[in-house]
A and B are shown apart, each in its own frame.
Chain A
Amino acid sequence: MRPRPALSGWFRQGALCAVALVWLFPYLWMGLTSLKPLAEIISAPTALWPKQPTLDAYREVFRSLPLARYFFNTSVMALGIAALQITLALPAGYALAKLRFRGKRWAFGVIVATLLVPAQVRFVPVFSLLASVGLVNTLSGLILPFGVSALGTFLVRQALLSVPDAQIEAARIDGASELYIVYRLLAPLLKPTLISLFLFSFVSHWNDYFWPLVLTTDEHARTLPLAIALLREQGTGVRWHLVMAGNVILSLPALAVFAAAQRHLLRAINVRGFGG
């Protein structure tokens, strides 16, 4: 393969182990704490292994929260956002990559600028707006504000830059409409990029806490991260075993998606250079 700086075998192995430990140990701790009874956590918090491992925490979490509903809501929301982002990123990325038109720079600039306005800052006006059209506590209210992905638009654009113009010209000559070109011709070419984008978006919105918290005032529309927050008490003592169990339950789907599709996820954030 490629030549690389030579490190002694032992040092390298040791370094790899240390790295793995640093990054896996916290999960291990989270999982182990979730298996301990609360009394044990309070009395011997630094002990690693549970003396009396129990699944009580998980039973309690499942009992006290309608997890299935939250799971469903979160999945539908995350899927909806990812799907909408792809649908919009394709034509937008195509226009930015392939077409000459006035105002291109501005469009570009606006899309980038939106990366700079986090949700906590936009909350009041957006909530008022959505409330006035009756979209609070609805799926649309959770999805629409995230319908555009700046990252996705740039990824599509980047990928399309390497598609030869000739191919598109040929399709046009054959009578294909621009819509057809974007969705039926180019999209399949971009499959790896789109899959990466989809997965990346899904995972990051799965975990979102702030926006669903402030935008839903009704149980029906709640998402999983909020449910886990319910476990953390205020006004009485913390039941750490439940909090940890809840966090394990919250993290597992994201980790599972990641494990199944790492290759694509890693590729999604692997875009270098917005310019050029």
Chain B
Amino acid sequence: MIPRREFLRASAVAGGSVLGACALDAVPKGRTPVSLWFSYGGTNREVLESLVQRFNRGQTRDFVQAVYQGDYFEGLAKLRTAIAARCAPVLSHVVSEVIPYLAEAGVLEPLADYPGLRELDLIPELGQERTWASGGARPLCALPFNRSTPIAYLNGDLFAQAGLDAPRDWDELRAVAKRLTERKAGGRFGFGCPINWWFWVALVGQAGGSIVAANGRVSLGDEAGVRALRLWQELVRGGLMKLPPGRDYNAWEQCNQDFLSGRAAMIWSSTAFLKYLEAHARFRLIAAPLPAGVKRAVPTGGTFWVVLRSAPSAEKAAAVRFLRFMHEPEQVITWSTRTGYIPVTHGAVRALEQRGYYAAHPNDRVALEQLSVAEPWPWSVDLFRIQREIVQPRLESAVIQQRDASAILTEARALALEPA
């Protein structure tokens, strides 16, 4: 395996020199290389690359080479294929839903015994400990990177005009949406939300249910799941909620555009978009926590760092050193203040408080405070597949085509029981 890696690297360098690539990104002599595969474009990529550069310049032992691999799904597919073909990188980041699957497949390096990782003072809801049910009991295999929760964004001007506050429960949500919807063709909607699993899970929690029952059965919330879906259907039928087109991240982008252009007075989206929305809103932007159903609940989202077991030990140790660097308060602060993701360590949060950051940016505090009602994900190997294949298309179909919520979820539950 090591000879092959050398061969691969040799041909990559040879190929690179044939292609006339400059030596800018070549690993300086004597340093341990750390190949990092990431899945961000745009601003997030720039921030990540600047942090990588900061690391590379600040020490002479290791050298991180960060390479973009496509979006989350393309990157994940390439990662798996590379693992199967035995040319995987040493470090990458993946969405939280996929971690149980990768961990159980045995491809992730256990991290607990590496120096310094247990003392990282991570916020437990954002780290492995509370992101998954009984996450703390399992071997540590993932460290939080960009973590988020869903939050509500309000058009402050419209709300002030109508004399309204952020809705605190579902009834208020319905009322506010109704007040702010203009009843004319081409008029503004009171509410907008991507029809996405993540937000549905939030609603299920708020309705008092959970996706996977305590005994491991994939219940999809049972009654609570149906109620959650029916809320959306009701809002759409009543003309109060705008449906963005497209799937996955296209829908989220569209939802943001609707909000910025005033076509929706209030949207649910991710805390990750906070900086972007603040920069482009021509009205006062208010971030607010999601309302309660019978209780408040939000899932967490975003990605975790993982170290691949198949890499050579020296590289894995170097990768861990990079991860420790990334979790130092300065880096966590840079990352979260420039992108809007939640800072993942207590130290960073304290530092930001002291600098008066949250006093100056109250919107940033919303997601952080919402962590107190964050619900853990089940540690389920199949959840990723069930979500994408079975549940997500049915959510879309139920809302867009107004199919019966109860029937569709029963169907989904039956399908989830079938073996892969």
Contact = CB atoms under 8 A, between A and B. Distances in A.
Contact of A218 (B4, B10, B67, B260): B67
A22 interface: no
B44 A214 contact: no
9 contacts: A45-B261, A64-B46, A134-B4, A139-B19, A220-B12, A229-B70, A235-B40, A235-B249, A236-B275
Interface stretch (B78-86, B228-236, B342-350, B362-370): B78-86
Taking residues whose C-beta sits less than 8 angstroms from the other chain, chain B's interface range is 35 or more
Contacts of B257: 42, 237-238
A137 B260 contact: no
Contact of B18 (A64, A134, A139): A139
A72 B20 contact: yes
A42 B71 contact: no
B18 A69 contact: no
Contacts of B68: 219, 230
Given A139-B19, A230-B68, 18 more contacts: A38-B280, A69-B19, A69-B21, A131-B85, A134-B4, A134-B11, A136-B12, A138-B14, A140-B15, A213-B70, A217-B82, A231-B41, A234-B40, A234-B71, A235-B40, A236-B272, A238-B253, A239-B42
B273 to A, nearest CB: 6
Q: Is the interface of B mostly helix, strand, loop or mixed?
A: helix
Interface residues of A, number: 42
A136 B71 CA distance: 20
A159 to B, nearest CB: 33
Contacts of B340: 236
A213 B74 contact: yes
Contacts, number: 138
A230 B12 contact: no
A128 B85 contact: yes
A131 B272 CA distance: 36
B143 to A, nearest CB: 18
For B11, B44, B74, B82, which residue has the most chain A Cβ atoms within 10 angstroms?
B11
B208 interface: no
With a 10 A CB-CB cut-off, give which of A45, A76, A234 has the most chain B CB atoms.
A234
Interface string B9-27: 0111011101111100100
A127 B78 CA distance: 10
B351 interface: no
Nearest to A230: B41
A43 interface: yes
A72 B14 CA distance: 16
B272 A72 contact: no
B198 interface: no
Contact of A43 (B11, B67, B70, B282): B282
A112 interface: no
Interface in A112-159: 123-124, 127-128, 131-132, 134-141
B357 interface: no
Interface string A182-218: 0000000000000000000000000000000110011
